[in-house]
Structure 1
């Protein structure tokens, strides 16, 4: 899929988005995970039906988007995505989100259900309970640890981000992941989601447990669940042919 990339100034940050696919098709918004970029979703692109116009957005501070001065929250991400879509005059759309991208998707689908035609998520938390095992991991996260584990990804961030400051980005993302206020995870709001919803997770995902996924499915009336075998959190990278095919079928059924 060919496409073009542009920046949109939103509340002090330059938010990058790329449009590709069928210019006359229904819009499919694709959102990446925390400390990643829209490039991480490249492996899924060949599975997207030609019926869709694809809009990929780099979340604030990530990829080719600058951070600005506002603290990162899921609400802030939501506002950025909605501003991009308003600028593109996209009234109705499908949405796929991985990890943080899916958490943003829950918020958007719950808060403005008339616009979202379908929602598909992968490894995306919807709440943070006081005993959630991911809390300890988030609290202990450091930029140095991420550098050791994901050196190539950070090098790419340093290369493409207009104002790279990885230490500051990590500090902001940690606060976002631990935010239990209304600005954070949608929590009970997910019960307002009325569109067709596909919830996916890697079978060995250490951040989004099977129990949490099942609870979420019970909260969303029109939901389906797929557990991706042999994978952890980044199932779309570990087993793209399975995640991609399931996503393709879901989009075709709900087109």
Structure 2
């Protein structure tokens, strides 16, 4: 009888674990929009922020991998996925403030943050504008200054038009999920305007106390020199093995990786992000 009870209890616990691992979706009002989000996993809270033109599904397998050891809150930002748009520009500062309001609305005082591309820049602004809300920030494909973009991107931005985006694959994804399936041209207009927004955050980044993991592809939209410069602003780039602890911020470079390939390597991303969030460092000979 006792053994049977143990088996039943184990089955029930396993069932609850499996059920809890499935994302739970919800919506909450944030600054006049209905923000869609999904919660999965168990552990300390981790907020995941997607890139431009993206949504939760297009972030791929990194979300369930992170949910193995964290309670992941995956958000869909203004006008993206199932979140409604509002009559307001999309700026990194606005997106950051939206995340802060979201955290207040659902009762998260402080969390780790993982962001990709636009989501990484929004996460960086969250750490700048609301440092009390961010424990650690993992930022993939990010810049702190528009001068850090690759010359090819800087040359392409003035040529961007709404029409060149209307037949891209993410336009179909937009129509499948959006509350307003016809709203894609408006989103594109706002995201093109975002590319023209001033970005010069050097002093803000230098003043950050939040540990930041910078992840970049070696063929990403920001130059490698810019990523190294950001790492140095955060206290990185010193020599180890000298008896001093390493800086809390880190830099990871993904080889043979263009911008859109960063998020398509979830195992490598996870291998960078998880030790950073856990405060783990490789041990050297002198430790």
* TM-score, scaled to structure 1: 0.89
State the SS of the aligned residue for 2:250.
strand
Deviates further, 208-217 or 191-200: 191-200
Superimposed CA distance per residue, residues 141-179 of structure 1 (whole angstroms, 9 cap, x where no aligned partner): 23333344x32x221110110013111111111111211
Classify 1:43/1:142 alpha carbon distance in 2 versus 1 (closer, same or farther; 3 Å): farther
Runs of 4+ in 1 over 4 A off after TM superposition: none
Match of 2:53 in 1: 35
Q: CA deviation at 1:132?
A: 6.0
Q: Gapped runs of 5+ residues in structure 2?
A: 1-20, 236-247, 281-287
Q: Gapped runs of 5+ residues in structure 1?
A: none
Q: CA deviation at 1:136?
A: 2.5
Q: CA deviation at 1:246?
A: 1.4
How many equivalent pairs are there? 246
Superimposed CA distance per residue, residues 111-163 of structure 1 (whole angstroms, 9 cap, x where no aligned partner): 23232111101111211139862233222223333344x32x22111011001
1:118-129 equivalence runs, <5 A: 118-129=136-147
State the SS of the aligned residue for 2:251.
strand
The answer to whether the 8 A contact 1:103-1:186 is kept is no
Match of 2:272 in 1: 246
Q: In structure 1, how many angstroms separate the alpha carbons of the residues matched to 2:67 and 2:83?
A: 27
Q: CA deviation at 1:252?
A: 2.6
The answer to whether the 8 A contact 2:56-2:75 is kept is yes
Match of 2:100 in 1: 82
Deviates further, 224-233 or 44-53: 44-53
Higher relative contact order (CA 8 A, sep 6+): 1
State the SS of the aligned residue for 2:262.
helix
Classify 1:130/1:93 alpha carbon distance in 2 versus 1 (closer, same or farther; 3 Å): closer
Q: In structure 1, how many angstroms separate the alpha carbons of the residues matched to 2:69 and 2:101?
A: 24
The structure with the largest alpha-carbon Rg is 2
The answer to whether the 8 A contact 1:44-1:236 is kept is no
Match of 2:258 in 1: 232
Deviates further, 92-101 or 159-168: 159-168
Q: In structure 1, how many angstroms separate the alpha carbons of the residues matched to 2:58 and 2:65?
A: 14
Q: In structure 2, how many angstroms separate the alpha carbons of the residues matched to 1:167 and 1:234?
A: 22
1:55-204 equivalence runs, <5 A: 55-129=73-147, 133=151, 134-148=153-167, 150-151=168-169, 153-164=170-181, 165-180=183-198, 186-204=201-219
Q: In structure 1, how many angstroms separate the alpha carbons of the residues matched to 2:157 and 2:61?
A: 27
The answer to whether the 8 A contact 1:47-1:248 is kept is no
Aligned: 1:216 with 2:230 = yes
Deviates further, 1-10 or 122-131: 122-131
The answer to whether the 8 A contact 2:110-2:135 is kept is yes
* TM-score, scaled to structure 2: 0.79
The answer to whether the 8 A contact 2:84-2:179 is kept is yes
What root-mean-square deviation, in Å, do the aligned CA atoms of Structure 1 and Structure 2 show? 2.0
The answer to whether the 8 A contact 2:216-2:262 is kept is no
Deviates further, 240-249 or 63-72: 240-249
Classify 1:185/1:88 alpha carbon distance in 2 versus 1 (closer, same or farther; 3 Å): farther
